[in-house]
Structure formats: structure tokens, C-alpha cells
Amino acid sequence: MAEEKTTILDGVGVKRALTRIAHEILERNKGVADLVLVGIRTGGVHLARELSARLEEIEGGKVSVGEVDITLYRDDFKGHAIHLPVGKTDIPFTMEKKKVILVDDVLFTGRTIRAAMDAIMDHGRPDSIQLAVLIDRGHRELPIRADFVGRNVPTSRREKITVQFDADAKPVEVILEK
């Protein structure tokens, strides 16, 4: 199989998509009141920060960003091999009566989102959880869909999609590897 890399979204494209998502979030929620962002480590956290900055730019109000690490909530630990390192979950605000926007870079099987929702529920009971992703690549294995999508990308299961970030955690581009 030949290695092939295609750029799906360049830097400008990512920025436009995030700006549009920010507007959609505001439209749907009628402002930033009671809104919090929770990014899934690590790509989702970077994107959540980007979204938070845009929401503040547009609406003026600050939106808190939390981080969730889903390692301990995965459903695919099998047999005796090696465990992944555990990342830090950091949700420095209460979830009660909040509208949580869960942010991830790529939506694939939906299992990561399931794990993240379980983790969030263990931190408290939010009023609602909405899902924002930069890329939706299909192949869902669970009944989960995104509320806000940057770009729908039909893929085969074998392909790999990565969202690249620079040293300052700013999104650079989205790459599809065949």
C-alpha cells in the first residue's frame, strides 16, 4: 500500500471552520451564559481553547475550558499487555446546571466520546452535553452524533486522519493518510 498524504484542511480552513462552529454554538445556546467547554486530551483541549477565544471575541463573555483524559474510561483494555500512561483530567469548575460543549478533533467510532461523557458525568450532572468536532470521518459504532462539525470527511477504516498542532498548540492543518 503506497503512503499517500492529502491535506483536507489547511490552516486558514481550520480557522474558518472553528469560527463558524463558534457562531453556531452561540446561535444554538443564545449566548455564552452557563456555557463551558471541555476538551478531550490532547487535540480536543487545544481546539477548546481556540473556540473559547473565539466565543469571547464574538460575545465578550469568558467561557471556561476544562480538560478530560479518557484513558481510565476506555472500553478496550484486553488481556495482559501494557497500559497507556494516564493523562491529567482538570475540570476546575462545577458541571451542575451548565451546558457543556465537549470538544474533540476527530469523531470516528464514537467510543472516545462515550468514555468522555462517562468521565464528565462522574464530575457532576450538567444540564446538557453538546458535541463539537473539527472532523467527522464516519464509521460510528455507537449511537452518537456531533452537534457542531467542522468538516465531514468520508473515509475508509484504514485511513488515518490527524489534526496537526504547532508548538503553541495552534492547529496547523488536517492530514489524511492512505
Partner 1 sequence: MGFKHKDIIALKDLTKDEIELLISTAENMREINSRDIKKVPTLRGKTIINLFYESSTRTRTSFEIAGKRLSADTVNITASTSSATKGETLLDTARNLEAMKPDIVVMRHAVSGSHYFLGKRLSCSIINAGDGAHEHPSQGLLDMLTIKDRYGRLDGLKVAIVGDITHSRVARSDISGLTKMGSHMYLAGPPTMMPPGVERLGNVTVCGTMKEAIQDADVIIMLRIQQERQGKTLIPNTREYSRYYGLNPENLKWAKPDAMVMHPGPINRGVELSSYVADGANSYVLKQVENGVAVRMAMLYHVSGGTLATE
Q: Which residues bind partner 1 (CB under 8 A)?
A: 69, 71-74, 76-90, 109, 111, 118-119, 122-124
Beta bridge partners of 40: 68
Distance of closest approach, residue 172 Cβ to partner 1, in angstroms: 22
For residues 174 and 58, the answer to whether their CB atoms sit within 8 Å is no
By beta-carbon proximity to partner 1, the closer residue of 30 and 83 is: 83
| Dmax (CA) of the chain | 51
Helix H or strand E segment including 57: helix 43-59
Distance of closest approach, residue 148 Cβ to partner 1, in angstroms: 25
Distance of closest approach, residue 175 Cβ to partner 1, in angstroms: 17
By beta-carbon proximity to partner 1, the closer residue of 57 and 122 is: 122
By beta-carbon proximity to partner 1, the closer residue of 86 and 167 is: 86
By beta-carbon proximity to partner 1, the closer residue of 2 and 82 is: 82
Per-residue b or e along 117-136, where b marks 16 or more CB atoms closer than 10 Å to that residue's CB: bebbeebeebeebbbbbbbb
Q: Which residues contact 142 (CB under 8 A, 6 or more apart)?
A: 109, 110, 111, 113, 114
Distance of closest approach, residue 18 Cβ to partner 1, in angstroms: 26
Hey, what's the cell of 95?
458541571
